Structure 1
């Protein structure tokens, strides 16, 4: 049973990355364009408009799996900034300060930095077709071998 799960892992990581990227991009679209019942922020308003831009672009890149690790690192950092500068002054714990989403996105994107994009990504397509990329990047895209 575990062997089948191990073979599915790169695909599960891809699905996880796609869903997280989509949700993050939706937050950015809501902030920038007033979608999903939100009010659009004024262009250039600090820090909300810039956070929305990072969410839209970073979420889109993570969604398609292009520059995944870099985009996820920037997204994670932006959520750490949001948590400590916007939410944490209102209370120590996320349940007290309304920062659950920021904390979860921060740690989720940090996980994606280390796990990579999974099997279904533009990064993998570019690495496998062009033969470019480091050995570490190629190794990260291989299906794990069952123990």
Structure 2
């Protein structure tokens, strides 16, 4: 066992929080013109407005760790769509077609979906409560 393995779940949790926060900020920027955005997406416009809604909702869920695997898969898929439909036609490589963020978010969120939320996830509280309820019931019986 490597000595860094002791911090694995904590680092995964922090990674999830940062990725989720950044993804949500990307959605906020597009939806509400925050963080120095030059424009916003028109309400209901395909695909920009819908992508921003996915970014905001999925990013927030991933950040807090509630339904994080499902939210990460949905967010990853939306970024794969963005890369292949919006960026790839312009050039092959992300550095040439402006798709670096789409590619990074796609793979980062896919990683969260596969490795799980790690520590500090609200979803872990619900699991802990469900597993401790039978123990409490046995103790009071």
Shared fold (TM-score, shorter chain, > 0.5): yes
Larger Rg: 2
Q: CA deviation at 1:37?
A: 1.5
CA RMSD across the alignment: 1.3
Q: Indicate the SS of the match to 2:103.
A: helix
Equivalent residues in 2 for 1:105-116 (5 A)? 105-116=105-116
Q: Indicate the SS of the match to 2:118.
A: coil
Partner of 1:33: 32
- Count of residue pairs the alignment pairs up: 131
Runs of 5+ unmatched residues, structure 1: 133-147
Runs of 5+ unmatched residues, structure 2: 133-141
Q: CA deviation at 1:131?
A: 2.4
Equivalent residues in 2 for 1:1-147 (5 A)? 2-3=2-3, 5-38=4-37, 39-131=39-131
Q: TM-score, normalised by structure 2?
A: 0.90
Q: Distance in 1 between matches of 2:63 and 2:11?
A: 14
Q: Indicate the SS of the match to 2:88.
A: helix
Q: Indicate the SS of the match to 2:31.
A: helix
Q: Indicate the SS of the match to 1:131.
A: helix
Q: Distance in 2 between matches of 1:73 and 1:94?
A: 21
Q: Distance in 2 between matches of 1:97 and 1:40?
A: 21
Q: TM-score, normalised by structure 1?
A: 0.86
Q: CA deviation at 1:51?
A: 0.4
